[in-house]
Structures are given as structure tokens and as C-alpha cells.
Amino acid sequence: VNCGIAGCGVYLPLYRIKSSDVAKAWGGDLKSSYEKTVQCYDEDALTMGVEASLNALKNARFDGEELDVVYFATMSSPYIEKQCSSTLSVSLGCKDSVRSSDFNGSPRTCSSAMLGCFDAIRSSSARSALVVASDRLVARPGEPMEQLLGSGAAAFVLTSDETRLIARIEGSASYSTEFTDRWRSETESFPRSEIERFGRDYGYTRHVTMAVKRLLESRKLSPKDYSQAVFTEFDPRRPSAIAKSVGFSEDQISSGSLSQSTGDTGAASMFLSLSAALEKAKPGDRILAASYGDGGSDALDFTVTNGIQGKPSGEVEKYLKSKKMVDYQTHLRLNKVFDLLR
Amino acid sequence: MSSALPEFWRFSEELLELVGGKCKNCGKINFPQRRICTFCGAQDNFEKVRISRRGKVHTYVVAHALPSGVEAPTPLAVVDTDDGARLVGFVTECEPNEIKWEMPVEVVLRKVGEQDGRVNYGFKFRPIRFSRDVGK
């Protein structure tokens, strides 16, 4: 069964803070123009996920009742016990026979959930599915991660109905090992991370490179066959390291690179970047998307179809431009950091 | 101690899906859904409809004393949606001096409160961020 993406939708919170303002609050002097998103105090991974999903349904011209599967991917679920996907599916107007589930615990969870949807569609147990990745990431005040952790959400409507596709999934490859570079135990409010270079070189770069190379080998393709490549981004420099080790040019990775404006959006990162890439795509383009989360990477191969013509675009750009800058104290208040410190 | 849990469950169609009852007799939307139409008095003659997520502020008050989970001061508004339903709720991402009569707003899902570690979800209004006619 051929299947793929019928449409995507994104959501970024209104508020932003300059990474240099976060550094300044702790006596640092950061020379960068990076910004990160800050969610409103009444937002969480679920509310942002609902906004992105409603945008995706509208852009894909789908109704919630057409969905057989709804998967929610996050590592910042408002609950440890209780699933968000059931609330999500009701909010989208799905029928009560919908199969809904949460995927938790890693920024890689976005591709796990998406591949789960594709498997359900390929095996004909579903015709159409919605997968949304959403995260609100909050760091312990004063930690270096505080300059980067942001919030955002992105959703895809997936289907086997070829007449409604904008991109077809051609294949995927995974690479999994035991590796820990960022974690949060059940008793902790904030994530911790290992010395940066170890995590970057042996975690991120090695895993994503292996998954991407495996995909290229199995598809008998080379980096130059792709018009765009997007990755889970922890910071704006990471994708360049992958591009270098696999052989993509800066041009191929530039349109999907968003973290200089959004910060690290966790599970939503690769989905946001894939949405940005699709908005710039033409029929026939190949797009490679690769996720990463401690010890695992999934690489996905997409071909853009003629269906992309006439589909809404420019949503990512609109959300990036629609913003209100806040200072460090406001950022602490909106992030509800004082509740988390208790 | 009484719990709001059954109340939030009972009104989940309204709070999460924005479902109202359109009177088959007079065509007006009752929100929340009820058995007797507020406008014409017809009984048990409704069709479920998902109401518009766009509307305008009919009137408002700036609330200073609020339950836990809502920051004060926050505007509390009566909003008429494009399809004629009337909703009451908080306005988020809006300073008290920014709210105006007839201000266009969109209806969004937000946390409306917290109780016993449980999050209560419902709708709030937000000043329209940008035109929804994406790509046109």
C-alpha cells in the first residue's frame, strides 16, 4: 500500500526570549542572535499539540472523523499517568473508535509515532492517521540548557488515499544502541545532560549519521539525490555536523533549520523542520528527515508528489514572525519555573 | 470535598470540541447545549454543530480575583462567534489595556485551571495572531 503525508500543521507560542538575555541574567555574555520560544503559562504539550493538529487537518482538508489513528508524541506530557491522546482525539472531533496512544520519553518519539502510523496504514488496519509531536521544555534556572530549551508543536495527517498525498514515504532506516546523553528521572522536574562533546559526537552525530547512511544504502541513493534534509536539532550547529559527515551541502539543510529562532523544541523539532521543508518543496523533490534521541535515530525518505501544488504554505514563516519578546523574569513566570522548583 | 471532575466530563463536548446545539426550529445556536431553546422555547429539537473558532468581543470585564491556575488581572469576555453562538471565557495573551469591544478573537484550547494535580482543559479567547488564509 502506498502511503504518505496529506498535510502538515505547526504551532509556535507567541512569546520569545533572546538566548543572550538568559545568559545575561546569570552574569554571562553570549554573543549570539539566537532566540527561543516561551509558551504562555496556560499552555502545555497537549494544548499546543491540539493547535498544530487543527492546523494540519485544515491544511490537509481532512475532518477529524476521517481519522482511524491519533498518536501523540512528547517528552513533556502534563501527566506521567494519564494519556493525552484521548483528550486530543476528542478535541479534534474524532469518532470514538479511533485508536489513540501516547509516545513518550525522547525527542526521537516523533518518528517512532509516525512510523507506527505508516505501519498501521500499510497493513490496512487504518486508512488515515494523525501524528503530532509537541513539547514544552523547561531547564533548571542557571543551567546552560536554559538558553536553548523551547516549545512548539507540529502535526501530520497521513493517509493511503493517493489523490490526497503531498509526499509519499519511500522507506526508513533505524539505528539503536545504548546511549545516555540527556535524561530526566521520574522524580525530577528538569532534564540533565552529559558533557556536551561526548553527547554531540558519540550520541547525536554518530547515531544520525548511521541511520542516514543505512537509509541511503537501502534506497541506493546518495545525498545529492535529495533537495532537502532535516534533522532533530538540539542547537543550530548540530545539523551542520551531520551534513558534513554524510555529505549534504549547507543549501540542502538550510530551509529546515529553525532552532536559531525556536530553540530546542524536543520531539517537535524534526516535525517542525519537515513542515518547513515541505512548504518550500516542488513535485518530484526528495526530502530526508532524521530524528535523534538518546541512543536512537530513525531516518525517513519522502518524495514530494504533484499534490503539493495549490496546498497552503507559509504557515511556519507566519508563526516565526508572529512573536512578542519577553525579559528573563517574564520567561520564568510563563514557564512556571517556581512551581517546578517546589 | 466536592470535585469538578464530573462537571468537566459532562461538558467535554463544549469545552474541548466547541459543540453547541443548533435549534431546528429557529436556527440559533445554544451554547452550552440544553433541552429548551433559549431563543424560541422549542423542546428537544437540536442538531449538534461544531461552532466557529472566530468571533468578536461583545463585552468584557477585567477580573482581578481569580481561582488558582489563572493569572490576574485577566480579561473575562463575552464573545459572539461568526456563526452566532455566544461564549463566556478568559482572554489569554492579552494585556488588560489591550482588550476592546468588537475586537476579533479566536477560540483556543488552554488550561483553565488546576485541581489536585489535575489539569482542567477548556476554551479561552486569544487576539487573532495572523490571517488564517495561509498561503493566499
pLDDT bracket for residue A56 (50, 70, 90): very high
| Contact across the interface for A93 and B70, Cβ inside 8 Å | no
Q: What is the pLDDT of residue A342?
A: 66
Q: What is the pLDDT of residue A206?
A: 95
Q: Indicate the pairing of strand A35-38 with strand A15-18.
A: antiparallel
pLDDT bracket for residue B135 (50, 70, 90): very low
pLDDT bracket for residue B117 (50, 70, 90): confident
Q: What is the pLDDT of residue A175?
A: 97
Mean pLDDT in residue range A220-235? 95
Q: What is the pLDDT of residue A177?
A: 96
Q: What is the pLDDT of residue B50?
A: 95
Choosing among A8, A15, A40, A42, which should be mutated to test the B contact, i.e. which has the most B CBs within 10 A?
A: A42
- Say yes or no: A91 contacts chain B, CB-CB below 8 A: yes
CA distance linking residue B12 with residue B103, whole number of Å: 27
DSSP string, B33-71: --SB-TTT--BS-EEEEEPPSEEEEEEEEEE-S--TTS-
Give exposure, A145-177, as e/b (b: 16+ Cβ within 10 Å).
Answer: bbbbbbbbbbbbbbbbeeebbbbbbeebbbbee
Mean pLDDT in residue range B79-83? 97
Q: What is the CA radius of gyration of chain B?
A: 16
Q: A282 to chain B, minimum CA–CA distance in Å?
A: 15
Mean pLDDT in residue range A124-149? 96
Q: Which residues of B touch A318 (CB under 8 A)?
A: 130, 134
Q: Are B18 and B121 in contact (CB under 8 A)?
A: no
- Say yes or no: A93 contacts chain B, CB-CB below 8 A: yes
Give the number of residues written for chain A.
Answer: 342
| Contact across the interface for B12 and A47, Cβ inside 8 Å | no
CA distance linking residue A20 with residue A28, whole number of Å: 8
pLDDT tens digits along A112-124: 999 999 999 999 9
pLDDT bracket for residue A126 (50, 70, 90): very high
Q: What is the pLDDT of residue B2?
A: 63
ipTM of this predicted structure: 0.93
Q: What is the pLDDT of residue A256?
A: 85
Mean pLDDT in residue range A132-153? 96
In the predicted model, what is the mean pLDDT of chain B? 92
pLDDT bracket for residue A9 (50, 70, 90): very high
CA distance linking residue A270 with residue A204, whole number of Å: 13
Cβ contacts of residue B127 below 8 Å, gap of 6+?
A: B91, B93, B94, B98, B103, B104, B105
Q: Which of A51, A90, A318 sits opposite B130 (nearest CB)?
A: A318
Write the burial class of residue B131 (CB in 10 Å: 0-12 exposed, 13-18 middle, 19+ buried).
Answer: exposed
| Contact across the interface for A41 and B124, Cβ inside 8 Å | no
Report DSSP state, residue A139.
P
| Contact across the interface for B134 and A41, Cβ inside 8 Å | no
Q: Are A129 and A67 in contact (CB under 8 A)?
A: yes
CA distance linking residue A295 with residue A112, whole number of Å: 13
pLDDT tens digits along A202-217: 999 999 999 999 999 9
Give the number of residues written for chain B.
Answer: 136
User: Residue A100: helix, strand or coil by DSSP?
Assistant: strand
Residue A97 CA, chain-centre distance (Å), reads 27
Q: Which residues of B touch A14 (CB under 8 A)?
A: 93, 129
pLDDT tens digits along A274-310: 999 999 999 999 999 999 998 899 999 999 999 999 8
Decide which of A239 and A47 is more confident.
Answer: A47
Q: Are A320 and A261 in contact (CB under 8 A)?
A: yes
Q: For residue A333, is pLDDT > 80?
A: yes
Q: What is the pLDDT of residue B133?
A: 52
Nearest to A130 by CA among A61, A200, A71, A179: A71
Q: Are A245 and A211 in contact (CB under 8 A)?
A: no
Proportion of chain B above pLDDT 70, given as a percent: 95
| Contact across the interface for B12 and A90, Cβ inside 8 Å | yes
Q: B98 to chain A, minimum CA–CA distance in Å?
A: 14
Nearest C-alpha in A relative to B114:
A42
| Contact across the interface for B108 and A47, Cβ inside 8 Å | yes
pLDDT bracket for residue B95 (50, 70, 90): very high
Q: What is the pLDDT of residue A166?
A: 97
Nearest to B50 by CA among B8, B22, B20, B27: B20
Q: B93 to chain A, minimum CA–CA distance in Å?
A: 7
Q: For residue B134, is pLDDT > 70?
A: no
pLDDT tens digits along A164-223: 999 999 999 999 999 998 999 988 999 998 778 888 899 999 999 999 999 999 999 999
- Say yes or no: A95 contacts chain B, CB-CB below 8 A: no
Q: Which of A128-142, A183-197, B70-84 has the lowest mean pLDDT?
A: A183-197
| Contact across the interface for B16 and A314, Cβ inside 8 Å | no
| Contact across the interface for A40 and B92, Cβ inside 8 Å | yes
Q: What is the pLDDT of residue A301?
A: 98
| Contact across the interface for B129 and A41, Cβ inside 8 Å | no
Q: A142 to chain B, minimum CA–CA distance in Å?
A: 25
Q: Which of A47, A51, A318 sits opposite B111 (nearest CB)?
A: A47
Distances (CA, A) of A147 to A32, A50, A202, A261, A339: 11, 26, 23, 12, 20
Q: What is the pLDDT of residue B91?
A: 97
